[in-house]
Structure 1
Amino acid sequence: MSRTRHEIDPSTLTTGALSAGRPKGHQLRKILEDLAGRLPPGALLPSERVLADHFEISRTTVRQEIQRLVTDGVLFRRHGHGTVVAEPRPAHTDLLTSFSRDMRARGLSPGSRVLSSSVEPAGPRLATRLEVEPGSPVLHLVRLRTADGDPMARESTDVSLARFPGLDELAWERHSLFDTLEERFGVRPATSEARILAVLPEAHDAELLEVALDQPCLLIEAVTRDGGGRVLEAERSLYRGDRYDVLARARRGAGHHGDPADGNGSGNGGGNGNGRDVRQKAT
């Protein structure tokens, strides 16, 4: 009798049973990690029920270990289909590289769906972030960013129209913000100061990103500046935690007490105080 798509092929497993002397959840996680490493991205894993029956453990244990691997980006829950091997994380190399340019460099097709685009007066908080006068016109742009059609992030960006007039007239499904600023205004991102939080998505964001409500995401609030120190944009965006991680490097400035900088770190801060370079890292 042929197996169904959710049944276990014994030849794919490193072991057929769990040891009685070790935590069963830990053993199952190792087995599933090994299985995911040998299967191609998108390959369907056995169902929770099949795994529980095969290894003679509770479905609660199976569900917990699968969720840990989903959180770690090893597996992915595809709604209406099952649990599959996750795609490699095609994240930005850093916060100063445009999403579109970085995806193309990785051989992926970047995409954008404009969720909203409006011109609004800058309130006090936004005016402070953009370093403009309150009431100044600001382009508020919200896009769903995709890679090979898969949703990656919900990006919310604010740009001063007083400094960059005409941006509100563009079709942003076909344009990169950083590339447009360089082509039209001759400015490029040089530094970015970011605040990064681990959060659970709200229901509408979970639907947009095609993740479960209990899938951790990265909320990034950043202000990007050009080489002269002027603000280019302020961002508040939500990135899928199963497709992105963050690499932070810190370097102590030479003027601080304690051990001198050893040169192993790198960042935008230079040697005049604490510098920190926070960037998204592909894995």
Structure 2
Amino acid sequence: MDTHNELKHVWVRRQLQELVAGLRPGDALVGERQLEEQFGVSRITVRRAISDLVHDGVLVRVRGKGTFVSHGMVRSTLHLASFNEDMRAAGFEPSTRVISATTAIPPEAAAEHLGLTPESTAHHICRLRLGNGAPVSVDESWLPIRLLPDLLSENLDGSLYRILSVSGHPVQRVEQTVEAAPASETIAALLDIEAGAPVLLFRRRSFTGPGTPIEYSISTYRADRYQISMQLEAPLRAG
């Protein structure tokens, strides 16, 4: 290892951290050439320091636009909690913007989970979820009209789990998968990212009572603002 270059890299990273501390979330970082001249180091050293801060969630790169101060990253452990609970636990103020709330024929996976025939309709709610005013995820939910006839007349700006609980159908069990995916143009516009940017796609099947399906949802999270944390404890096995 080149100790001299490593020390330069650590010093530049600290200088950048101090620089970012004086900026606001969403502010643009000055260009690499200016930083190279300001710190008297090579472009490679500047880029490496910036990459470190991007990895740490301090900075965000936006293709074709530049590097910006991050709005922060929410780290969520694997547990059953609402978006609002996750945000507040991470120190963010949650808010919600309802994009649409209507009845529609759900996609096949949602209809199958809810036990609906191909021609049956369900409540369809699409919401933009924000943390400290910055877009974090787009949530699409399908719920059975039979169990929740008045759902669309409720205030959907808050926790949907709370509404389900008050309605007598609390979520008691969830099956969830997570995968990486590129953002569609529609989702990208809502999340304020480039189309094709990496996102985290959550597919959730929720149940109430003794195995009664109550919700099918797809949540799309900005990968630079949401992180999953897990802890596993088990004896290590050879092989």
TM-score range relative to shorter protein: 0.7 to 0.9
Higher CA-based Rg: 1
Q: How high is the sequence identity, in percent, across the aligned residues?
A: 28
Aligned to 1:218: 200
Aligned to 1:191: 173
> Per the alignment, do residues 71 and 240 of structure 1 end up closer, same or farther by CA in structure 2, a change over 3 Å counting?
farther
> Per the alignment, do residues 47 and 141 of structure 1 end up closer, same or farther by CA in structure 2, a change over 3 Å counting?
same
Deviations 1:250-281 (A, max 9, x none): 678xxxxxx799xxxxxxxxxxxxxxxxxxxx
How far residue 139 of structure 1 moved from its aligned partner, in angstroms, is 1.0
How far apart in 2 are the matches of 1:62 and 1:189? 48
Aligned pair partner of 1:143 in 127, 132, 139: 127
> Per the alignment, do residues 51 and 260 of structure 1 end up closer, same or farther by CA in structure 2, a change over 3 Å counting?
closer
Aligned to 1:21: 2
Aligned pair partner of 1:32 in 5, 10, 13: 13
Deviations 1:161-189 (A, max 9, x none): 122211123342x33210000012x2322
Gaps of 5+ in 2: none
The structure where helix makes up a greater share of residues is: 2
Q: TM-score, normalised by structure 2?
A: 0.76
Choose 148-157 or 25-34, whichever is displaced more. 25-34
How far residue 28 of structure 1 moved from its aligned partner, in angstroms, is 4.1
Report the AA paired with residue 156 of structure 1: E
How far apart in 1 are the matches of 2:170 and 2:183? 31
Aligned pair partner of 1:182 in 158, 161, 165: 165
Aligned pair partner of 1:239 in 207, 221, 225: 221
Aligned pair partner of 1:50 in 12, 34, 59: 34
How far residue 212 of structure 1 moved from its aligned partner, in angstroms, is 4.0
Q: Do the aligned residues in 2 keep the contact of 1:25 with 1:65 (CA within 8 Å)?
A: no
Q: TM-score, normalised by structure 1?
A: 0.66
Describe the SS at the equivalent of 2:74. Answer: coil
Q: Do the aligned residues in 2 keep the contact of 1:121 with 1:137 (CA within 8 Å)?
A: yes
How far residue 122 of structure 1 moved from its aligned partner, in angstroms, is 3.8
Aligned to 1:126: 110
> Per the alignment, do residues 260 and 241 of structure 1 end up closer, same or farther by CA in structure 2, a change over 3 Å counting?
closer
Superposition CA RMSD, Å: 3.8
Q: Do the aligned residues in 2 keep the contact of 1:189 with 1:232 (CA within 8 Å)?
A: yes
Q: Do the aligned residues in 2 keep the contact of 1:151 with 1:210 (CA within 8 Å)?
A: yes
Q: Do the aligned residues in 2 keep the contact of 1:153 with 1:237 (CA within 8 Å)?
A: yes
Q: Do the aligned residues in 2 keep the contact of 1:40 with 1:85 (CA within 8 Å)?
A: no
How far apart in 2 are the matches of 1:219 and 1:70? 21
Q: Do the aligned residues in 2 keep the contact of 1:216 with 1:241 (CA within 8 Å)?
A: yes
Describe the SS at the equivalent of 2:101. Answer: strand
Describe the SS at the equivalent of 1:139. Answer: strand
Aligned to 1:200: 182
Describe the SS at the equivalent of 2:111. Answer: helix
How far apart in 2 are the matches of 1:30 and 1:216? 31
Describe the SS at the equivalent of 2:152. Answer: helix
Would you say 1:230 and 2:212 are equivalent positions?
yes
Q: Do the aligned residues in 2 keep the contact of 1:154 with 1:239 (CA within 8 Å)?
A: yes
Report the AA paired with residue 87 of structure 2: M
Aligned to 1:113: 97
Gaps of 5+ in 1: 1-19, 253-258, 262-283
The aligned length equals 233
